[in-house]
Chain A
Amino acid sequence: MTSLASPANAAPRDRNTSVTALALLSLGLLVWFFEPLGALMQVFVERHGSATAALELLLVPVGATLIVVLRTMVGIEGFGIFSPLILAYAFVRLGTVVGLLTFMALLLAVTPARLLMDRFALLSVARTGILVAACAVVLFALSAFAPAYLELSSLGLPVVIMAGIIDRFVTAQMDQSTGEAVKLSLFTVLAAAILATFLQWGALRGAVAATPDLALLSFPLCLLVGRYTGLRVSEYYRFRAVADAGSVGAGKSGASGAER
């Protein structure tokens, strides 16, 4: 029952893959010839006058793909895929540095609320509710003193996400350890900052604006990355002791490696 040996399923999986690859290739050629998103973009510009709003939407697939790459190939793994993505949009609106500072301020300001909640045993939904409320109030206070151009108060949705990250930080702190919680939060913020910088990169914006069909590259890219079985960059660091030990014993045949 448990002997689902790999050679048995290898063949049909490989065939499926090549059929899928062929289908994707022909789809890609069709896109290449007809540029469907390019045509849509023309309609959009005719009706709305400018391409800016459309460009923001078309950059979403690009951002999602980058997060996928950061997670599966680099190993920057924070709280899920949505948190860094939405945080990145907050950073884009505020500028990365101000966004980071706002986030840090929120994290610091909400800590008393968190400590208070430790005192009362609370169900996690109630805890999240309090955190969202506290974040909004703190941000309101900050925005009263912030320069007018910063638009801090238009951050409704990102506030919810920041509160969400802070909530997951609190949960991780209780369930695992503070170190782990800090690591996960840092990685979330780092991924968001990388993403925000990338999304504001003029060359990228220009390319997607000129050729909107570039956004469709996200699909084959995610498919490829989704089948990547190699080590993540972070794992080269995590398992360095294993690699060092292996090279000393010169495990040419795998068997000797397992004996030790």
Chain B
Amino acid sequence: MSRFAGVLGLNRRELELIAPKNPRDRMIQIAQSKVNTKRLLEANDIPVPKTYAVLSTRRELSTFAWELPDDFALKPSGGGRGCGIVVMVGRHGDGWRTFSGRPVTRRELAFHVIAILTGDFSREARSDVAHFEQRLSSSLDITGNPTTGLPDVRVIVCDGRPLMAMSRIPTLASDGKANLHQGAVGVGIDIPTGLTTHAVHDGQPCTQHPDTKHDLIGARVPHWERFLDLAMRAAVLSGLGYTGVDLVLDDGLGPAILEINARPGLNIQIANLTGLRDALTALKVAGS
């Protein structure tokens, strides 16, 4: 089983990385309030999606003027794993419509806000805060090919230094979502060069995008230095020693930060075909 010596598992991630490096109170703050995390990053000149409105009580909702742009995202402040996020991409009559074209009225959005406030999407059903924010969009994925949905870049930062990186590119099967177990493609990125190295789809290594068939390997990620710089700065600001920083290459803003994860997943190892323990050893060797 020595072939697996470099692979990081859930148990070791918990005991040797998260427990010693991520103080509990900071983890709770980061996980429970995307709004506050965004404010912190914004104050430090890190690009994040603009906040249009924050609703924390039903009274605020009843007096809300619904002055929103044509496209936006409505998110719970404390939700995890993308739960409870709805995205409007354009107008439809009095209301808006979703990515798939379904019309959504103000009343339905108000109901979703109530669901968020009640805590339907937060951990342990704790009451939560809803916020409307700028919809980030990228028309090209990191390999320079047209894409639907929103591909992202995940950088794992350990003690202020980038440890491993990947991009998640949506597919038809993942319905525009950049989530590997929903069918998105994971593409490993070599940190020093910003070149894509391996790709994985449904747990199997691949070289082409399953829908568009374009090559995924050997592409140079645009603005790679900027991605790394933002990820490292955000990770240090978060006060956490081991984080997964999620970024997006927005058409207008360029690289921008979507979210900071205090308990980043392990699938990034499959996308890079490299174990995180091996990467940690390499980081230690390079650092001393």
Contacts and interface: CB of A to CB of B under 8 A. Distances in A.
Contacts of B41: none
Contact of A72 (B3, B6, B11, B81): B11
A247 interface: yes
Given A229-B15, A241-B203, A124 B115 contact: yes
Interface stretch (B47-55, B93-101, B131-139, B235-243): B235-243
Interface stretch (A1-9, A26-34, A41-49): A1-9
Interface of B: 1, 3-4, 6-7, 9-12, 15-16, 20-21, 81-84, 108, 111-112, 114-115, 118, 120-121, 125, 159-160, 164, 179, 181-183, 190, 197-198, 200, 203-205, 235-236, 239-241, 266, 269-270, 273-275, 277-283, 285-286
B83 A123 contact: no
B162 to A, nearest CB: 11
A176 interface: yes
Interface of A is mostly: helix
A57 to B, nearest CB: 28
A243 B159 contact: no
Interface string A220-260: 00000001111110011011011111110001011101111
Nearest to B160: A2
Contact of A123 (B4, B11, B118): B118
A230 to B, nearest CB: 7
Contacts of A175: 81-84, 121
Given A243-B4, A246-B3, A230 B181 contact: no
A4 B6 contact: no
Contacts of A247: 3
B159 A238 contact: no
22 contacts: A4-B21, A4-B159, A124-B118, A175-B81, A175-B84, A176-B181, A177-B181, A227-B15, A230-B9, A231-B7, A232-B9, A241-B203, A242-B7, A242-B270, A242-B274, A243-B3, A243-B275, A246-B3, A254-B280, A255-B281, A255-B286, A258-B282
